[in-house]
Copies of this chain bind each other. A is one copy, B any other.
């Protein structure tokens, strides 16, 4: 599969739990960090938007856990973005272990952008991406 954006990362020991594998919730951290780095490259700063009253929010997450990451594993997150409606954006995000390209997780994250009153509002830089 082809990805418009990729980010390489490495498991940190504090991210692993009693089972010796990365805890389920931590994958959402990996996915979020990848989305924010991708958006930053496109001129969209999550924090600056939040400070100006525009909140990029997740409305739905679908995560298929295929194989666990362990202590020391290097991996990368692949990302594709498409617009699923006027105000919704769909990030396809998959995680692969680096040394053998083993599929770790398939993710689909649907997000939107809200103004201070909680109404959909798409910033110009985000509009320009499509």
A residues contacting B by CB (< 8 A) are: 12-14, 16-20, 23-26, 28-29, 32-33, 36, 40, 45-47, 50-51, 55, 57-65, 68, 70-72
Smallest CB separation, A45 vs chain B (Å): 8
What's the Cα separation between A47 and B73 when bound, in Å? 12
Q: Measured between C-beta atoms, what is the minimum distance from A121 to chain B in Å?
A: 14
Which DSSP category, helix, strand, loop or mixed, fits chain A's interface? mixed
Q: How many copies does the complex hold?
A: 4
Query: A18: which B residues are within 8 A, CB to CB?
Result: 13, 16-18, 20, 46-47, 50, 71
Give me 8 A-to-B residue pairs in the complex whose CB atoms sit less than 8 angstroms apart, sorted by A's number.
Answer: A14-B25, A17-B17, A18-B47, A18-B71, A19-B57, A57-B68, A59-B64, A63-B63
